[in-house]
Amino acid sequence: MTRRHTLARFVAVLAGAYAALMLIVDRLIEFGVAAGIFAASSGAAALFAYNRRTDDERLTLTRGIHDDSDAD
C-alpha cells in the first residue's frame, strides 16, 4: 500500500465513524457532510489500489516480455 492509499483509508474510517455518531445524535447536516467525505475517501482508496494493481501487472508483463526476448 502506498502512503496515499493508507491515508485515504484512514480518513474514510474516521469520517465513517463520525458520520455514524452524527446520525445517532440526530445531526443530519453534519452526517451528510461526513458521509460525503467518507464516500470520497473510500473512492480515492479504491482508485489508488486499482492503480497500484494495474501498475504491478504492467510491470510484470513488461518483465516477462524482456525475459522471453533475452532467452533467444
Mention every residue, 6+ apart, whose C-beta is less than 8 A from residue 5: 45, 48, 49, 52
Looking at per-residue confidence, does 55 or 52 come out higher? Answer: 52
User: Contact, 15 vs 41, CB < 8 A?
Assistant: yes
User: Contact, 15 vs 30, CB < 8 A?
Assistant: no
Residue 1: per-residue pLDDT? 66
Looking at per-residue confidence, does 58 or 6 come out higher? Answer: 6
Average pLDDT of span 39-45 = 90
Number of domains in the chain: 1
Q: Is 33 exposed, middle or buried (CB count within 10 Å of its CB: 0-12, 13-18, 19+)? A: middle
Write out pLDDT tens, residues 25-35. 999 999 999 99
Taking the model in full, what pTM does it have? 0.66
* Domain ranges, residue 37: 3-71
Average pLDDT of span 53-71 = 64
